[in-house]
Amino acid sequence: MDDAKILELFRNRDETAIAELRSKYDRLCVHIAGNVLSQREDIEECVNTAYYEVWNNIPPASPDDLKNYLCRIVRNISIKRYEYNSAAKRDNRFTVSLEEIADCVPDTPTEEIRLDDLADAISRFLRTQDDTHRRVFIRRYTYGDSIAEIAARYSLNEKTVATYLFRTRKKLREFLKKEGYNYG
């Protein structure tokens, strides 16, 4: 079933919407949560929480891209669970990618509308990048894949992946400055 039909099920409050969403995107959601969390129970809980959140948010939310909307929710829930699980300890497996991107995006806005605007600006920027750079960037910062995993996936050298990421982050920072986002 395509995303437009799934969204329509959500708008009509049809409970089969969750089953269709799970059927289409469960493997992707588990992958995203698994890149952040190590416990299977935590991963399953985060994915289920994401489905519940989507159910509660649509309507009134009406995402243009259901897949990206769901991925962002899964990622955010997983990061919150990771932070909760490792409050005093430091596992840099996922925090490294967050620290990398922190230099090119402004401090987190406080208003939800500004968060959506920032996400839209980043999406517009990514659409201007060539396919390989865009895919590498998304695999690293949305799905949380390691540089080694990305290199293996796209048959690239790890140094090439690191260079792609560095250059794309630099271009993103300049793009966001032109869009009017201030850096602390």
Peptide bond into 63 cis (omega under 30): no
What's the CA angle centered on 90, arms 89 and 94, to 5 degrees? 135
* Residue that terminates a domain, selected from 37, 71, 88: 88
Same domain flag for 14 and 84: yes
Q: What is the pLDDT of residue 112?
A: 42
Cα–Cα distance between 25 and 22 in angstroms, integer? Answer: 5
Q: Which domain holds residue 59?
A: 3-88
Same domain flag for 78 and 19: yes
Domain count, the chain: 2
Each residue's pLDDT expressed in tens, for the chain with a length of 184 residues: 899 999 999 999 998 999 999 999 999 999 999 988 888 888 999 999 999 999 999 888 888 899 999 999 999 999 888 888 776 454 445 555 566 776 676 655 544 436 667 778 888 899 999 999 999 998 888 888 888 999 999 999 999 999 999 999 999 988 888 888 765 4
Task: Take residue 108 and report the two structure tokens written for it.
Answer: 């987190």
Residue 184 within a domain: no
Q: What is the pLDDT of residue 8?
A: 92
Distances (CA, A) of 67 to 2, 23, 51, 169: 11, 13, 12, 23
Same domain flag for 58 and 10: yes
Q: What is the pLDDT of residue 87?
A: 66
Residue at token pair 């519940």: 52
* Residue that terminates a domain, selected from 88, 107, 129: 88
Q: What is the pLDDT of residue 178?
A: 86
Task: Take residue 158 and report the two structure tokens written for it.
Answer: 């790890």
Peptide bond into 106 cis (omega under 30): no
Q: Are 122 and 181 in contact (CB under 8 A)?
A: no
Q: Are 81 and 37 in contact (CB under 8 A)?
A: yes
Q: Are 142 and 31 in contact (CB under 8 A)?
A: no
